[in-house]
């Protein structure tokens, strides 16, 4: 394809380091789409004949059929997907194939193909995130009243509901989806027509190809068009943040299925056994989702390092962009799917969660708040009195709700027996009616809001 000025073949090592067909074949469909749009445009502006265009389109359709059938002959000697497809086109339609590359370079071609691939990956991720959100909503709704401990420092803090807890992730994943959507909007300009780097002397219509490929319009600087990969970095950044959220939920699942927590159970479908310990049911899928961020963030780090310090415009370094992005999105997509499966699969152990919700003096804040409300004590003093009550309860080995009134009154004479009304986890959670709070009515409100948003 580029042998005109060469008299010798590349060395085997040159070939080995240069060849990319082993991985960039994943850009085949994008490459075909770009070529179709380019050929149609070339014919429309009169750079190639309509007859040649028809032959090219026919040949490209044949190639697409071969690829779908698994019958396309990928060949290392043709280096990458672009040259493989062009070589095959020549075999299928003859010399007309040689006209397709008019006013185009592999530089704008690969920039286009890759952008199309990343754009589709963002769309797929958004779809998968929404599926995960739906699974979370389906679990949150019947558990809007299911009590559980809310944690800070992984210490029982205040009672919340399981539905509220799951809805926290719906919010996080919602922002992840909107990050992918933002990245998509920014990347949605077509680099095709930048040619090698400087633009083209042919009367090409970049608006036309951009439109045909679903872009908002063409990119505005030919150098930037072939040099930029920030769209991929941005998509991987969004993927990394999403993986952070997945790993946090995965970690909670790992904790919750331990005999110590026993907050949920996973079915046999999402657990594995041990080859030596017959009693074991391990949450391997959750552990692997927790770990996959290594690949996703590894991809972001890897590509960032490839791009750092590269002078304008295209350098072959940039061929190293693809495996990173493919690996990052493969890991993310598998994680999202596995997490969606686990969320749908899990069964909360409501009795166990509710019992835990009252442990660790989790309604201490409610006692302090009661003192503020009912006796007019400043919060700082109420905090102090409550601390002393916790100390006393600890000494007697009872929960706050079981502390005798006489003990409480020793700490503050104005305490009456109505205080016991606020000391249960249920009353505590129900009292937190502020917007976005854990009161079941608030949780239901947010579930409704998200269901409408995702409808």
The single residue listed with the structure tokens 């007697």 is 396
Q: Which is nearer to ligand ARG, 110 or 400 (CB)?
A: 110
Q: Are 335 and 124 in contact (CB under 8 A)?
A: no
Q: Is 274 a catalytic residue?
A: yes
Q: Which is nearer to ligand ARG, 1 or 138 (CB)?
A: 1
Minimal distance in Å, beta carbon 16 to ligand ARG? Answer: 14
Catalytic residue among 153, 220, 275, 418: 153
Q: Which is nearer to ligand ARG, 78 or 169 (CB)?
A: 78
Q: Are 264 and 357 in contact (CB under 8 A)?
A: no
Residue by residue, DSSP assigns 268-323 as GGG-B--SS-TT--B-HHHHHHHHHHHHHHHHHHHHHHHHTTPPSS--GGGGGHHH
Minimal distance in Å, beta carbon 290 to ligand ARG? Answer: 33
* Strand, coil or helix: 431: helix
C-beta atoms surrounding 411 within 10 Å: 17
Q: Which is nearer to ligand ARG, 86 or 354 (CB)?
A: 86
> How far is it, in rounded angstroms, from Cα 109 to Cα 147?
56
Q: Are 157 and 151 in contact (CB under 8 A)?
A: yes
Q: Are 270 and 341 in contact (CB under 8 A)?
A: yes
Minimal distance in Å, beta carbon 235 to ligand ARG? Answer: 17
Minimal distance in Å, beta carbon 2 to ligand ARG? Answer: 8
Q: Which is nearer to ligand ARG, 173 or 314 (CB)?
A: 314
Q: Are 55 and 63 in contact (CB under 8 A)?
A: no
Minimal distance in Å, beta carbon 87 to ligand ARG? Answer: 14
Residues that bind ligand ARG (CB under 6 A): 20, 24, 80, 106-107, 110, 314, 316, 318-319
Q: Which is nearer to ligand ARG, 107 or 133 (CB)?
A: 107
Burial grade of 275 (CB within 10 A; 0-12, 13-18, 19 or more)? exposed
Minimal distance in Å, beta carbon 285 to ligand ARG? Answer: 34
Minimal distance in Å, beta carbon 304 to ligand ARG? Answer: 17
Catalytic residue among 267, 274, 315, 359: 274
> How far is it, in rounded angstroms, from Cα 300 to Cα 212?
30
- Kindly report whether the peptide bond that precedes residue 313 is cis, defined as omega within 30 degrees of 0: yes
* Strand, coil or helix: 397: coil
Q: Which is nearer to ligand ARG, 78 or 263 (CB)?
A: 78
Report the b/e string of 258-271 with b at 16+ CB within 10 A: eeebebbbbeeebb
Q: Which helix (H) or strand (E) holds 159?
A: strand 155-161
377: left (phi over 0), alpha (psi -120 to 50) or beta: beta
Mind telling me the catalytic residues? 153, 274
């Amino acid at each position: 394809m580029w042998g005109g000025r060469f008299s010798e073949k590349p060395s085997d090592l040159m070939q080995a380091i240069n060849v990319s067909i082993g991985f960039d074949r994943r850009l085949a469909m994008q490459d075909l789409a770009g070529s179709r749009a380019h050929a149609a445009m070339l014919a429309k502006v009169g750079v190639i004949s309509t007859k040649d265009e028809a032959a090219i389109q026919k040949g490209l359709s044949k190639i697409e059929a071969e690829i779908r059938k698994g019958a396309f002959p990928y060949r290392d000697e043709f280096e990458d997907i672009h040259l493989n497809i062009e070589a095959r086109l020549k075999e299928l339609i003859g010399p007309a194939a040689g006209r397709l590359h008019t006013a185009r370079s592999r530089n704008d071609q690969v920039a286009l193909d890759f952008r199309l691939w990343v754009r589709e990956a963002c769309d797929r991720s958004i779809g998968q995130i929404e599926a995960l959100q739906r699974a979370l909503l389906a679990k949150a709704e019947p558990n809007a009243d299911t009590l559980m401990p809310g944690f800070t420092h992984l210490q029982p803090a205040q009672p919340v509901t399981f539905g509220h807890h799951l809805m926290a992730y719906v919010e996080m994943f919602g922002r992840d989806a909107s990050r992918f959507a933002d990245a998509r909007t920014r990347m949605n300009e077509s680099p095709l027509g930048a040619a090698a780097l400087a633009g083209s002397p042919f009367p090409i219509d970049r608006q036309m190809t951009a439109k045909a490929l679903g872009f908002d319009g063409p990119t505005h600087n030919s150098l930037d068009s072939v040099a930029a990969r920030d769209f991929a970095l941005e998509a991987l950044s969004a993927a990394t943040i999403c993986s952070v959220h997945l790993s946090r939920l995965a970690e909670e699942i790992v904790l919750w299925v331990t005999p110590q927590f026993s907050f949920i159970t996973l079915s046999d479908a999402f657990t594995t056994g041990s080859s030596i310990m017959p009693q074991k049911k391990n949450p391997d899928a959750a552990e692997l989702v927790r770990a996959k961020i290594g690949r996703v963030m590894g991809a972001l780090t890897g590509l960032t390092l490839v791009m750092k310090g590269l002078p304008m415009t295209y350098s072959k370094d940039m061929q190293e962009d693809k495996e990173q992005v493919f690996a990052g999105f493969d890991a993310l997509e598998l994680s999202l799917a596995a997490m969606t499966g686990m969320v749908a699969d899990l069964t909360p152990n409501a009795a166990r969660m509710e019992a835990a919700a009252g442990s660790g003096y989790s309604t201490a804040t409610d006692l302090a708040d009661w003192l503020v409300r009912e006796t007019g004590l400043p919060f700082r003093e109420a905090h102090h009195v409550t601390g002393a009550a916790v100390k006393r309860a600890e000494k007697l080995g009872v929960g706050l709700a079981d502390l005798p009134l006489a003990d409480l009154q020793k700490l503050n004479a104005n305490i009456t027996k109505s205080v016991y009304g606020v000391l249960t986890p249920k009353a505590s959670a129900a009292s937190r009616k502020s917007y976005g709070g854990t009161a079941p009515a608030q949780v239901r409100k947010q579930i409704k809001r998200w269901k409408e948003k995702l409808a």
